[in-house]
């Protein structure tokens, strides 16, 4: 599956750590940064794929599960470390669930927001995969 866990370089210190993301850490130029916060533990987010957008998800605080589907296989990745980024390439279905209290999901995205880039229907997603996407 076209996903990867990225190690974010960090400077460790007994007074607290610093994680630094410069352009060479990511395989794309960041065009947008957003974050999900105040998320009820029962929430299911995501439930879509992107046609072109690639992004990296980081659990800046707390933890949550990311369920990934590429039309053939399925993987669940638990994000719970601020120095690990989950790279999700385009044409991968994602669902986010099991948010801990205080979880914050930081997202670094390769494009600005465009609703036309979303596929929000799973059957449509499967159809697009069978068409070679």
Q: According to the binding rule CB under 6 A, does residue 79 interact with ligand T46? A: no
Give the residue, chosen from 4, 7, 10, 34, that forms a contact with ligand T46 under the rule CB under 6 A. Answer: 34
Give the residue, chosen from 35, 113, 114, 121, that forms a contact with ligand T46 under the rule CB under 6 A. Answer: 113
Q: According to the binding rule CB under 6 A, does residue 45 interact with ligand T46? A: yes
Report the alpha-carbon distance of residue 62 to residue 99 in Å, rounded: 8
Q: Are 45 and 95 in contact (CB under 8 A)?
A: yes
For 18, the token pair is 């610093």
Give the residue, chosen from 96, 103, 106, 108, that forms a contact with ligand T46 under the rule CB under 6 A. Answer: 96
Q: According to the binding rule CB under 6 A, does residue 94 interact with ligand T46? A: yes
Least distance (Å) from ligand T46 to the CB of residue 61? Answer: 15
Going through the chain in order, the beta strands assigned E by DSSP cover: 3-7, 10-11, 18-19, 32-36, 45-50, 55-61, 64-69, 74-79, 84-88, 93-97, 104-109, 118-119
Residues that bind ligand T46 (CB under 6 A): 34, 36, 45-46, 55, 57, 94, 96, 105, 107, 113
């Amino acid at each position: 599956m076209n996903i990867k866990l990225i190690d974010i370089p960090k400077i460790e210190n007994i007074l607290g750590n610093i994680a630094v993301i410069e352009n060479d850490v990511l395989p794309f130029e960041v065009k947008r940064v957003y974050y999900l916060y105040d998320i009820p533990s029962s929430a299911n987010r995501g439930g879509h794929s992107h046609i072109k957008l690639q992004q990296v998800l980081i659990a800046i605080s707390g933890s949550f599960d990311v369920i990934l589907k590429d039309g053939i296989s399925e993987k669940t990745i638990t994000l719970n470390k601020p120095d690990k980024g989950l790279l999700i390439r385009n044409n991968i279905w994602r669902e986010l669930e099991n948010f801990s209290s205080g979880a914050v999901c930081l997202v670094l995205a390769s494009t600005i927001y465009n609703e036309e880039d979303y596929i929000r229907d799973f059957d449509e997603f499967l159809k697009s995969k069978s068409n070679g996407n």
